[in-house]
A and B are shown apart, each in its own frame.
Chain A
Amino acid sequence: MSEYHLEPIKLEDTELIYFMRSISKSKVLKPTDRIKNQTFIRRFLENKEGGYLKFCNSKEIVGYYRWQNNDEKVTIGSWITNPSSGFKEKILFDLEFKLFVFNETGTDYLFFEVERNNSTVWRHHERLGAELIREDQVERHYRLSRTVFKYKYNEKINRFNPRTI
């Protein structure tokens, strides 16, 4: 059995989410504060229109990610990772989270946005098959198809076999 797993967050996770967001590259994160962050997460969990998950190993939380299902469109976002986690764990988190959301929602497409200046992140998503569908002054808008993702998932998961992490 893998030592990694996804699980729903609890309200107590808001402090760690806030901490991770605070120490991330400020140039790519919108300004936020502790109370706003707590309020947003509490409302998100109450609305039940999606899920907010954390990825854990036996020792620590690797990161957080959320998905939302509204207007028959599934969006993902707010991927944040623990700076002390290894890069393979972070990639594995992204792969397993997307796979989970495809399976959980049954959707054929995931939608998300990445800030234009965050090229490391949007290049990463493009490596996993995301298709640029629109671009504005601030963000690049992407769509990821189930078919393309499944292919990429198998390719990358073999390359970054979790048993070798």
Chain B
Amino acid sequence: MKKLTDLIQEQFDDSSIIINADSIISDIDGFDSLTAFSIIDSIQEEYGIQIDEADLKKSVEEIFKLINE
């Protein structure tokens, strides 16, 4: 889970943003279209799983479960 949280955090401008298992990705401060692309793209590269744009409205924990299904 920490690896995924770190990967998501890296895609944001602000390193002081705190992301945890309950964070809803699209609600995180600074989330925009390029961040969405970066998150989906980096998850694909790291885990080989393609998540959908709608998945960004889920929590980090839910994304983690999706990746590990």
Contact = CB atoms under 8 A, between A and B. Distances in A.
Nearest to A124: B34
Contacts of B36: 87
B38 A127 contact: yes
A42 interface: no
B13 A120 contact: yes
A3 B37 CA distance: 21
A81 B36 CA distance: 15
B41 A159 contact: yes
B31 to A, nearest CB: 10
B53 A127 contact: no
A159 B34 CA distance: 15
Grouping DSSP codes into helix (H, G, I), strand (E, B) and loop, the A interface class, with mixed when no group exceeds half, is: helix
A120 B34 contact: yes
Interface residues of B, number: 16
Given A86-B53, A87-B53, A88-B53, A121 B44 contact: no
A140 interface: no
Interface of B: 11-13, 30, 32-38, 40-41, 44, 50, 53
Interface residues of A, number: 16
Given A81-B33, A90-B37, A120-B34, 18 more contacts: A86-B53, A87-B33, A87-B36, A87-B37, A90-B34, A91-B33, A91-B37, A120-B12, A120-B35, A123-B11, A123-B38, A124-B37, A124-B38, A127-B38, A159-B40, A159-B41, A159-B44, A159-B50
4 pairs of A and B residues whose beta carbons are closest in the complex: A87-B33, A87-B36, A124-B34, A120-B34
A90 B41 contact: no
Interface string A122-151: 011001000000000000000000000000
B51 to A, nearest CB: 11
